Amino acid sequence: MTDNYLNLVNSGPAGNLAKRLGLPRPAVLRRHSPGAPLVPGPLLVLGSSAAADTLATLLLEWNQDVRRHARPGERLGAIVVVLESVTDPGQLAAPILELGQALRQLARGGRIVTVSRPAVGCTNPAEAAARQGIDGIVRSIGRELRAGATANGILLGSDAPVQAASGALRFLLSGKSAFVDGQFITVSATEPAEAQNEDRPLTGQTAVVTGAARGIGAEIAAVLSRDGATVVVVDVPAAGEQLAKVANRVGGTALQLDITADDATTRILDHVQHRHGSLDLLVHNAGITRDKLLANMDAARWESVLAVNLASQLRVNEALLASDVFAGSGRIVCLASTSGIAGNRGQSNYAASKAGVIGMVRSTGLALEGSGRTINAVAPGFIETEMTAKMPFATREVARRLSSLQQGGLPGDVAETIAFLASPAAAGINGEVLRVCGQSLVGA
């Protein structure tokens, strides 16, 4: 669905009027386009540790124009702040105030990325305070930035070296993370693997995407195919015609089935084995809403939402993880929702299912640690699809503007995040929930 207001304020006079009236002025976001530079200008790396030098060297190896101090008047494409060795909140002042001085030089669609360590599990109170302080800083900067710029953080978990941040760093700097804002990604010591083909990192892989006949699922199929995967698209028989069109468009195969059926997993695995050999990636995207206030909720609404959005994922995962058809380095990515984080009026059933997905991902992530396989969730906020087009006009407008980026995301924004989590670059990311919500106030 088109955001007419966004188009209007980005077309000359209306933009000036919106500015004078103090109305939201959502920017056209810097999204991925083939051949575009990683960031729109030189990259400033702040921080005085050896890890900051290591990251600066890495960025030079990526052919980036790297600065260690801002040059007056120069537009910066991104600022990376390396804070992995802070042990006391007093150590935050110098690098963060330097960041503050450089913020005015950030280009449209620029990026701020911090690299630090998690506070959870840290036994030194002052060190934990400093680490958690970075959380507050990043989330506040995200709310202050304008012109489509974003602020996110990478947490180096379990004593991971700074190099482990490289896969997440490239994603967060790029146009692929346009709608990821105010978020943290924890990476483990597992170093991101090099893709054989950087432009098509999923070459040779087979992916299954459920609910792929339209909306976010169809876009996930398109982006995975662009990145080199052979895609099996799955949806209910009633959507068969649309599904066949998606399969043709992405050069994949279609499988008509209801994901809640008892034999759904067997049929998926049989299809993959006969047509493609083995399965490298499963994206649990199929989902439904049946909204009602809890006081008016009936069993059919409750049970159908839980069956499609959660029970099917639990059942399929159990069978998949026990099957030889699922590759030793296989990935699972599940669609959660910010409603599952913050709750939403009229969505107790949907929020139960999506919060349940988050619980399932964290638990399965623990079981998969060190196995080479990973499971992660993506929690979209307001995304422009047929699902959100059904919302009443006023609710939809409010939902769009209630984020730092003051607009809804596009299905492609969710798809790019899923393609990243499926890629070799995300080998060290497991059991994580990554929001794609433009830093929505919902679930903040």
Rank residues 382 and 420 by Cβ distance to ligand NAD and give the closer one. 382
Least CB distance to ligand NAD at residue 185 (A): 19
How far apart CA 27 and CA 110 sit, in angstroms, is: 12
CB of 127 to ligand NAD, least distance (A): 36
Q: Is 5 a catalytic residue?
A: no
Q: Which of 350, 374, 403, 425 is catalytic?
A: 350
Q: Which is nearer to ligand NAD, 43 or 383 (CB)?
A: 383
Q: How far is the CB of 335 from ligand NAD (least distance, A)?
A: 4
Between CA 404 and CA 438 the distance in angstroms is: 6
Q: Looking at this protein, which amino acid is placed at residue 416? A: E
Q: Which residues bind ligand NAD (CB under 6 A)?
A: 210-211, 213-217, 235-236, 239, 258-260, 285-288, 308, 335, 337, 380, 382-383, 385-388
Distances (CA, A) of 38 to 35, 64, 67, 207: 9, 8, 15, 26
Our CB check for ligand NAD shows the closer of 170 and 354 to be 354
Query: How far apart are CB 235 and ligand NAD at their closest, in Å?
Result: 5
Residue whose tokens read 């060297």: 57
Query: Which residue lies nearer to ligand NAD by CB, 229 or 308?
Result: 308
CB of residue 224 to ligand NAD, shortest distance in Å: 15
Q: Which is nearer to ligand NAD, 188 or 338 (CB)?
A: 338
Active centre residues (catalytic): 350
